[in-house]
């Protein structure tokens, strides 16, 4: 079978680097170019040094139209600017990892209509899509913890969400809250109740449960570790633990990367993989939900490759059977 010819814009950052690590070993992928104006002419392995010996590809400052799919690994707001400034042939599929096209009100650009790329929500739509808006990392983790409740009509109370992310979630650019000497042995809260991912989470839940109108009280935290997101959530629920476990198990039965665990979970189970795990407890009238993902993989680049597989009719696990860190 022919290879999928791929272009990457923004290949020097964290999500671009993770995308390269996956695609270099993907049996159906052929990387045609990796675009980065600031690194043009450099070997990819000069920037992503762990790829030394794996690829002799160099960054380019030009674009080729001789590709099947274009990944946009640029900052929020920059994907739309890129498409405004560059004419991309309509036959080329686009997978955007920024937030520019995730919300329904922003999902159209010219003749391109972007489908929200959460396979656990929109798998059939993704299979038929030409353009994908990849979900946010927090949004992926939180939604995976809540979608089965919404799909079964059991999301009927305010949801309290406390979620902690690793430092790579802030991107590669150095800032006051990403510097090692500040982040190490530290913990902080940011954008309490106002995080931008709340909008896409809300749209997805309403897609499954039309009458959902309860608060999502979201407290994001910066963790002092590198990778992963753990979301701890609770809400009032009439479901028994056994009923809730069955709802989650049934919902995720056809999703190969997402699993309902009967044992408590921890981040090392998913770091460096495209897996998402969910664990439930019942405390009196409260249903307690823990969901975990790797923010750079199931929360970003792994998700993007999963979407590519679906768009091109491949097994969605192709190239994504990744080894976890374990310890």
Known catalytic residues?
Answer: 137
Rounded to 5°, angle at Cα 289 from 278 and 264: 55
Spatial CA neighbour of 71 closest among 126, 142, 149, 134: 134
CA 283 – CA 192 distance, rounded (Å): 25
Phi-psi region of 272 (alpha: psi -120 to 50; beta: other; left: phi over 0): left
């Amino acid at each position: 079978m022919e290879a999928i010819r791929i272009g990457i814009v923004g290949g020097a950052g964290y999500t671009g680097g993770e995308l390269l690590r996956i695609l270099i070993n993907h049996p159906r992928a052929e990387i045609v170019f990796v675009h980065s104006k600031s690194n043009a002419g450099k070997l990819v392995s000069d920037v992503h040094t762990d790829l030394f010996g794996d690829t002799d590809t160099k960054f380019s400052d030009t674009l080729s139209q001789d590709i099947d799919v274009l990944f946009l690994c640029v900052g929020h707001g920059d994907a739309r600017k890129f498409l405004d400034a560059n004419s991309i042939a309509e036959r080329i599929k686009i997978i955007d990892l920024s937030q520019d096209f995730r919300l329904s009100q922003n999902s159209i650009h010219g003749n391109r209509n972007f489908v929200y790329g959460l396979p656990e929500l929109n798998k059939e739509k993704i299979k038929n899509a030409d353009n994908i808006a990849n979900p946010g990392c927090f949004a992926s983790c939180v939604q995976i913890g809540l979608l089965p409740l919404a799909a079964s009509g059991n999301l009927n109370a305010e949801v309290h969400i406390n979620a902690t992310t690793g430092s790579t979630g802030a991107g590669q650019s150095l800032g006051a809250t990403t510097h090692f000497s500040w982040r190490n042995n530290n913990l902080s809260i940011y954008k309490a109740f106002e995080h931008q991912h709340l909008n896409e989470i809300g749209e997805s839940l309403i897609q499954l449960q039309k009458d959902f109108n309860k608060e999502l009280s979201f407290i994001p935290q910066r963790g002092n570790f590198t990778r992963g997101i753990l979301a701890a959530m609770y809400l009032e629920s009439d479901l028994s633990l056994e009923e809730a476990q069955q709802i989650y198990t049934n919902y995720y039965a056809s999703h190969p990367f997402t699993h309902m665990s009967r044992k408590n979970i921890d981040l090392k189970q998913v770091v460096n993989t495209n897996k998402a795990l969910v664990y439930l407890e019942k405390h009196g009238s409260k249903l307690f939900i823990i969901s975990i993902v790797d923010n750079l993989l199931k929360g970003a680049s792994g998700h993007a490759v999963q979407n590519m597989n679906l768009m091109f009719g491949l097994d969605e696990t192709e190239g994504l059977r990744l080894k976890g860190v374990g310890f």
